[in-house]
Amino acid sequence: MAANKLKISPPLLNSACPWATTLEDIKALYDSPYTGAVTIRTSLLEGFTHDDSIHQYIFFTPGKTIAGDAPKGEASKPSSSNSSSEPVSTLNTLGYSPLTLSEYLGIINEIVGQRHLGTDTPTKKPFILSVTGTPDEIAMAYALVANAAEMDEDLRLAMEVNLSCPNIASAPPPAYDKKQLDEYLEAISDSKSTYRGRMATPESVPKVGVKLPPYTYTGQFEMAVGSLREAKSSEPGEGSVIDFITCTNTLGNSLLLNSSFDPVLSNESGTGLGGLAGAALHPLALGNVATFRKLLDRDPVTRGIMIIGVGGVEDKDGAERMRKVGADAVACASALGRYGVGVFERITKGA
């Protein structure tokens, strides 16, 4: 089972985020010698209607007053001259990518096609396609990913099911509810079983993970691990149908007020509540990784599940902390937005 894990070497990558949206974003991440995989921004089968007036983000320093006219989006990024100042966090009210899953598969084919021509990075890094939707839509998404992997044996594709975005007013994170989580895991199990017999080797069957929200008390962790344990593969000698978990996503219901005590960001509901990420989330993210690793290791069904640790990592020490508490690989988002793709060299070398 361990030999059939998702291979991420070096064990460093980005998590699904705004800075992994375009062809240029994804190619830069793929070309970096310091990333072992590339995660694509969360997509839907039919795309997402992005609206700058309600889907926003801001970089901020915790505990500091935010000016009433503080810039949002890329304009909120600290200047390079302040790059060594105290850590920066982010708050976002973003939804998903405006690009569809099919469009992302086309982008991946274009990038890998350049490699075939010998004009680009000659490596075979995994692409992790982050997706969301209903359980039925997730099954269809897996079919698209598996078909793409079947058509080109050089593609290393995996799928991450995002069950944790806190910013969709009509769809709270399914991973907080056992019934919903089980429905998604059943859809994943059925999809993997369908394609297992068609793929050339067990290793070529696209791996599947789930992106989880921050959990804050014991019952939530036990619920999630119980569902992962119950979603056991029907294949002899295998454990859970889930190959990896990504934890943790942003912490929802977070609010920033400006100097006039008005919400800094807009959102769908008009409250300005969004998802907290970056340095402010790091202790909670470490706790989630540590707790999941301990609980997953208690049962042979879940012991082989990898953890991609994410939340507030922006330097070598942060990555080492994540690895120390049980992450098999470490991802970052806010730091990617702050420093660009060069952040992975910074993390690797401790610069």
Among 97-101, 135-139, 171-175, 314-318, the least confident range: 171-175
Is the pLDDT score of 82 beyond 70?
no
Is the pLDDT score of 140 beyond 50?
yes
Among 42-56, 76-90, 120-134, 162-176, the least confident range: 76-90
Express as a percent the part of the chain with pLDDT over 70: 92
Q: How many CB atoms lie within 10 A of CB 152?
A: 14
Is the pLDDT score of 177 beyond 50?
yes
How far apart CA 351 and CA 349 sit, in angstroms, is: 5
Is the pLDDT score of 2 beyond 50?
no
Q: What is the pLDDT of residue 122?
A: 54
Q: What is the pLDDT of residue 329?
A: 98
Q: What is the pLDDT of residue 81?
A: 52
| First CA to last CA distance, the chain | 36
Cβ-contact 139, 131 below 8 angstroms: no
Is the pLDDT score of 121 beyond 60?
no
Find, among 232, 160, 251, the residue nearest to 193 by Cα.
Answer: 232
Condensed to tens digits (0 to 9), the pLDDT of residues 304-324 reads 999 999 999 999 999 999 999
Record the pTM.
Answer: 0.95
How does DSSP assign 52-110, residue by residue? TTTS-EEEE-TTSPBPTT---GGGGSPPGGGTTSS--EEEE-----SSBHHHHHHHHHH
How does DSSP assign 229-290, residue by residue? HHSB-SSTT--BS--EEEE---EEEE--BBTTSSBSS--TTSS--EEEEEGGGHHHHHHHHH
Q: Which residues contact 33 (CB under 8 A, 6 or more apart)?
A: none
Q: Looking at per-residue confidence, does 126 or 196 come out higher? A: 126
Q: What is the pLDDT of residue 195?
A: 83
Where do the domains of the chain lie, and which CATH numbers do they carry? 2-349 (3.20.20.70)
Listed as own residue / partner, the contacts of 105-112 with beta carbons closer than 8 Å and 24 or more positions apart are 105/129, 105/144, 105/145, 105/148, 107/23, 107/26, 108/26, 108/40, 108/148, 108/155, 108/157, 109/148, 109/152, 109/155, 110/23, 111/23, 111/26, 111/27, 111/30, 112/152, 112/154, 112/155
Q: What is the pLDDT of residue 346?
A: 94
Mean pLDDT of the 194-214 span: 83
In this prediction, residue 167 has a pLDDT band, given cuts at 50, 70 and 90, of very high
The amino acid sitting at 115 is R
How far apart CA 15 and CA 249 sit, in angstroms, is: 9
CA distances from 181 to 142, 164, 201, 320 (A): 17, 11, 29, 30
Cβ-contact 270, 261 below 8 angstroms: no
In this prediction, residue 202 has a pLDDT band, given cuts at 50, 70 and 90, of low
How far apart CA 344 and CA 324 sit, in angstroms, is: 18
Q: Looking at per-residue confidence, does 201 or 193 come out higher? A: 193
Angle at 220 between CA 163 and CA 157, to 5 degrees: 30
Find, among 233, 229, 234, 208, the residue nearest to 135 by Cα.
Answer: 208
Condensed to tens digits (0 to 9), the pLDDT of residues 213-259 reads 999 999 999 999 999 999 998 777 789 999 999 999 999 999 999 99
Is the pLDDT score of 1 beyond 50?
no
Give the pair of three-digit tokens for residue 6: 């998702």
Q: How many CB atoms lie within 10 A of CB 104?
A: 25
Mean pLDDT of the 34-59 span: 96
Express as a percent the part of the chain with pLDDT over 90: 80
In this prediction, residue 347 has a pLDDT band, given cuts at 50, 70 and 90, of very high
